[in-house]
Amino acid sequence: MTAAVEADALVKTFGDIRALDGLSLRVEAGTILGLLGPNGAGKTTAINVLTTLLSPDAGRATVAGHDVVEQPALVRAAIGVTGQFAALDSGLTARENLVLFGRLMKLGRAEARRRAAELLERFTLTEAADQRTGTLSGGTRRRLDLAASITREPAVLFLDEPTTGLDPRSRLALWEAVRELRASGITILLTTQYLEEADELADRVTIIDRGRVVAEGTAEELKRRVGGAVCHIAVADAADRQLVSETLGTLGPVSVLPDGVSLPATGPETLVAVVRELDEARHAGLPIARIDDIGLRRPTLDDVFLALTGHPATPDAQADGEAAASDEAGRPARPTAEVAS
Amino acid sequence: MTSTIPAAVAGTLAGPPPPGVAGTRPRPAFATDVAVLAERHLRLMSRRPASIISAIVLPLVFALLFFTVFSRVMRRGGLDYIDYLLPAVVIQAVFFTGMSSAILAAEDALGGTLRRLRTMSVSRPAPALGLLAAELTRSLLSLGVLLAIGAALGFRFHGGPWKALGFPVVMLAFAAALVTCFIALGLAIRRLEAVTTATNLIYFPFMLLSSAFTPAAAFPSWLRPVVEQQPVSRVADALRALTAHDAALARPLLIAGAWLLGLGVVGVLGASRALGRAAA
């Protein structure tokens, strides 16, 4: 296969911070690569280098066959970029925004209008077409932003955290739109903090942390690397999670996740051992943790991230009481007790 | 792994060629980019009450207020105040235009528009030049409004049609220099309140400590040299020379021209620097 995006040992430093520390990645033409990592891992810096906004201090990268440093104009002509913040004019209507992008991409007036109408139809934006963009919901704006970035069908599309802050329904609609773009042959590099998102959309996943790649593969391969099943104890309260992890410390390496505690499972016997251990602690008169659920499940990318980097993918979600807030921010709830068969 | 893909192969990277417009790739086209972005700003301004007020209503209100307050006093001193006042309110309207450009530039930097444009096949200086073109158009609108009210209050070009034509040219040159500087300011500061404060800190002293609204003789003698020499006064001198019947023209035009050239150079250097940073 040919690589539509290829980065080789990219380095970018800001003062003392090595935002990219020898990052290499490859996106095959016509596929979606999920670039995954916590805040500050270097995802946005990587996108900025690949979209010619920043020059790397070292290393090289090609996008659609063009060197990002030596042929930035050719790269720009071949890419579309949708950022974390929809760069649309809130004072213009959805249609006017699309016509504007069409004109900036050198379509004639009539052609830009025709293309705008086509995109409004394709992205189910016809109802919003003649409303000021500022009055549209966050999800609709992101879809419009996505439509704008493919006004002139790009070879490679960069989506920088396209669903951050969206509610679950808008997120699903955006996922659907992204899948359709892939189906039309566009190569997509998607960054996200949400592991489910990469799981849903990406053909391959590259996990980065502190500017380096820590793992690469399909979501399935990465999950297999963590091993078999995981016993997950869902605990809402942070102090309780600590309590549970201490209680279960004798059973194996316990990981504290944002939504609970998990440890490697060999089979149903692990479940029995966990319940017994918790019950014994209760009988011994130790402080009791409030547990919402206990179950066996196949590892998620969260587990992969934790296993590979030693810290959870969303460090800020570790703080107490953040679980509810992050649900509001639109992270779809994950089944906590999906028992592996 | 890192070998460059030949251009011929690169064309096929997107898979099957998508239908319609996809075949060719866009290229920057300087004039189109500037025109499209200027149109964007004009459309946004026309929908923004604050822009309409500062382009049309405020200059009118100030012209009427100053005329009402000062014209009788000035006439007693032997000055036909509307002829004196009009260049001043035109300069003031240019300042309002400049303040608008600083805010719009900062908004484009903050909202991600500049970054987005930088990832597209849009020529580099086009965002700043599009805004400049839109603001110059806006300042012509302010000028039209002020000339109309001025005519109603008795303002006349006493120097004939050629000098009258020079009037908007000098105003546009002043507007171009000032707006370029203010765009640089907006792009460099990128915080809306701070931009407003900075532009006010330039506007008030330069406008009020000038011979725009009152002759330099009205200021204390120690301040008079500054008042007479500063650029706003020099531009006012040039504009007045173009409205008068028999004033010497070359000297005020040259001095104003030198100031504007200097201001323009500072603005262009500052704006291109700030534009590069704001988009990174």
- Residue to mutate among B116, B129, B277, with most A CBs inside 10 A, is B116
Confidence at A32, pLDDT banded by 50, 70, 90:
very high
Q: Flag whether B76 is in a domain.
A: yes
Residue of B2, B10, B37 with shortest CB distance to A65:
B10
Give the CA count within 13 Å in the CB-facing half-sphere of B183.
31
Distances (CA, A) of B53 to A297, B61, B199: 63, 10, 17
Q: In the predicted model, is pLDDT for residue A120 greater than 90?
A: yes
Minimum distance, in Å, between the CA of residue A331 and any CA atom of chain B: 25
Task: Classify residue B14: in a domain, yes or no.
Answer: no
A313 Cβ contact list (under 8 Å, min separation 6): A36, A37, A38, A193, A195, A301, A302, A305, A306
Answer yes or no: do A53 and B119 touch at CB < 8 A: yes
Residue A67: other Cβ atoms inside 10 A: 14
Helix or strand run (H / E) with residue B86: helix B81-110
Q: Find, in chain A, the residue whose alpha carbon is nearest to that of B40.
A: A100
In a domain, B150, yes or no: yes
How sure is the predictor about B24, in pLDDT bands with cuts at 50, 70 and 90? low
HEC states along B219-269?
CCCCCHHHHHHCHHHHHHHHHHHHHCCCCCCHHHHHHHHHHHHHHHHHHHH
Tell if the CB–CB gap between B10 and A8 is shorter than 8 Å. Answer: no
Determine, for residues B121 and A54 on separate chains, whether the beta-carbon distance falls below 8 Å. no
Considering the domain boundaries, does residue B15 fall inside one? no
Residue A161 contacts residue A191 (beta carbons within 8 Å): yes
- Name the residue among A307, A297, A312 with its Cα closest to residue A233: A297
Inter-chain residue contact B9 with A186, CB threshold 8 Å:
no
> B119 touching A, CB under 8 A?
yes
- Hey, which residues 36-55 in chain A have their CB within 8 Å of chain B? 48, 51-54
Cβ-Cβ contacts under 8 Å between A and B: the total is: 131
ipTM of model: 0.85
Q: Choosing among B25, B37, B41, B51, which should be mutated to test the A contact, i.e. which has the most A CBs within 10 A? A: B25
d(CA A241, CA B38): 57
Ramachandran angles phi, psi of A3, nearest 5°: -90, 130
Chain B residues within 8 A of A8 when measuring between CB atoms: 1-2
Residue A175 tokens read as 């996922």
Between A300 and B5, the more confident residue is A300
Answer yes or no: is pLDDT of A219 > 90. no
Rounded Cα distance between A227 and A239, Å, is: 28
The minimal CB distance from A185 to the residues B7, B15, B48 is found for: B15
Would residue B18 count as lying in a domain? no
- Alpha carbons B59 and B52: distance in angstroms, whole number: 11
What's the pLDDT at B246? 84
Closest C-alpha to B95, from B171, B190, B193: B171
B7, B33, B120 member nearest A76 (Cβ):
B120
Cβ of residue A152 closer than 8 Å to a chain B Cβ:
yes
Q: Is A289 in the B-facing interface, judged by CB distances under 8 Å?
A: no
- DSSP letter at B21 equals G
Residue B204 lies in a domain: yes
A97 vs B: CB within 8 A: no
Residues A301-337: tens digit of each pLDDT:
777 777 777 776 654 443 333 333 333 333 333 333 3
| DSSP per-residue letters across B156-213 | ---S-HHHHHHHHHHHHHHHHHHHHHHHHHHHHH--HHHHHHHHHHHHHHHHHTSTTT
User: Chain B, 172-211: which have a CB under 8 Å from a chain A CB?
Assistant: none
B121 touches chain A (CB under 8 A): yes
Q: Could you tell me the residue range of the domain that residue B264 belongs to?
A: 28-278
* Cα–Cα dist B59/B64, whole Å: 9
Q: What is the pTM of this model?
A: 0.82
Instruction: Check the CA dihedral B258-B260-B263-B264 and report its sign.
Output: negative
How far separated are the first and last CA of chain A, in Å rounded? 35
Burial category of B31 from C-beta neighbours within 10 Å (exposed 0-12, middle 13-18, buried 19 and up): exposed
Contact present, A93 and A134 (Cβ < 8 Å): no
Cα–Cα distances in angstroms (integers) from residue B136 to residues A249, B49, B173, in the given order: 71, 18, 9
| pLDDT tens, position by position, B261-279 | 999 999 999 999 999 887 6
Considering only CB atoms, B22 lies closest to which of A26, A83, A153, namely A153
Mean pLDDT value across residues A115-140: 94
Measured between CA atoms, the residue of chain B closest to residue A64 is B10
Q: For residue B10, how far is the Cα from the chain centroid?
A: 44
Rounded mean pLDDT of B148-167? 95
Please check whether residue A228 is in contact with residue A307, taking contact to mean a CB–CB distance below 8 angstroms.
no
Asked if residue B66 is part of any domain, the answer here is yes
Distance CA A127, CA A150 (A): 20
Q: Are A59 and A18 in contact (CB under 8 A)?
A: no
Tell the residue number behind the tokens 């499972």, with chain if given.
A265
pLDDT score at B11: 38
Contacts of residue B29, defined as CB under 8 A and 6 or more positions apart, other chains included, come to A106, B123
Task: Tell me if B74 is assigned to some domain.
Answer: yes
Q: How confident is the model at residue A250 (pLDDT cuts 50, 70, 90)?
A: confident
Kindly state the helix (H) or strand (E) to which residue B127 belongs, with its residue range.
helix B126-153
Q: What is the pLDDT of residue B254?
A: 97
Count of domains observed in chain B: 1
Nearest alpha carbon to residue A252 among A263, A237, A240? A263
Q: pLDDT digits over B62-91, tens only?
A: 999 999 999 998 888 888 899 999 999 999
Closest chain B C-alpha to A149 CA, distance in angstroms: 9
Query: Where does the pLDDT of residue A86 fall: very low under 50, low under 70, confident under 90, or very high at 90 and above?
Result: low
Strand A17-28 relative to strand A3-14, pairing: antiparallel
A31-40, A301-310, B8-17: least confident range: B8-17
Per-residue confidence (pLDDT) for residue A335, from 0 to 100: 34
Q: Give the pLDDT mean for A53-71.
A: 96
A310 burial class (0-12, 13-18, 19+ CB within 10 angstroms)? exposed
- CA dihedral (B127, B129, B135, B136) in degrees, to 10, reads -160
